[in-house]
Amino acid sequence: MLSIHVERTTENRKQIWRRPAQEHHFFWIRDGVVVTRCTLADLPPCPVSAAIFADASGLATDLSGLAVVDDTERRRLAYRLLWPQVQAAQLDLKSFIKSNTKSEKLGGGLIMGLGGWLLLSHPLMALGTFGFGLFLLKYSGSEAAELEVALQKDLESLKSQWHRHLVTP
């Protein structure tokens, strides 16, 4: 499972998209229960993270019978088997960009309308308000498009790291 990690946050009184880097994890599953979880130390944390779920049937366990021990070969096999899916992974944020653009255009249009309404009573304020609404209309969706480009680069970095560290060690 590949996941993207983004959050909307405020910096210097401006809303921005942040891409926090997250660890990658490997989960061994037996009878529907996670028996062992480990961090993939070979892959650096990234805003596009991987979670691998694999069947632990037949693997040696510790005395408790829960934690998997000496799983190196099966993990390497899982990395190699998953490589084609990782390599083919695509990121498509078109619907997110469209939705974001639509709401920003609506906000810009409303602010321009407010500027027009203020024109008779407060011409200077109306000019600033109208200009801000025009700015929102002009740049609507650009921030979301920039986020998609950055996440595409993060995905390509993950693919490169996966191949370099997990497929061909």
> Which tens digits make up the pLDDT trace of 14-55?
888 899 999 999 999 988 888 889 899 889 999 999 999 998
Q: Identify any residues that bridge with 132 across adjacent strands, giving them in sequence order.
A: none
Task: Give the end-to-end CA distance of the chain in Å, rounded to a whole number.
Answer: 22
Let me know if residue 152 belongs to a domain. Answer: no
Nearest to 134 by CA among 109, 116, 114, 102: 109
Which residue range forms the structural domain that includes residue 70?
2-91
Domain membership of residue 110 (yes or no) is: no
The residue type found at 10 is T
**Is residue 37 in a domain?**
yes
25 assigned to some structural domain = yes
In a domain, 47, yes or no: yes
- Which residues share a beta bridge with 25? 39, 51
Residue 156 located in a structural domain: no
Q: Is residue 162 part of a domain?
A: no
Put simply, whether the predicted model's pTM sits higher than 0.75 gets the answer no
Whether 16 is covered by a domain: the verdict is: yes
pLDDT one-digit tens code per residue, 90-115: 988 887 777 777 777 788 788 878 87
- Count of structural domains within the chain: 1
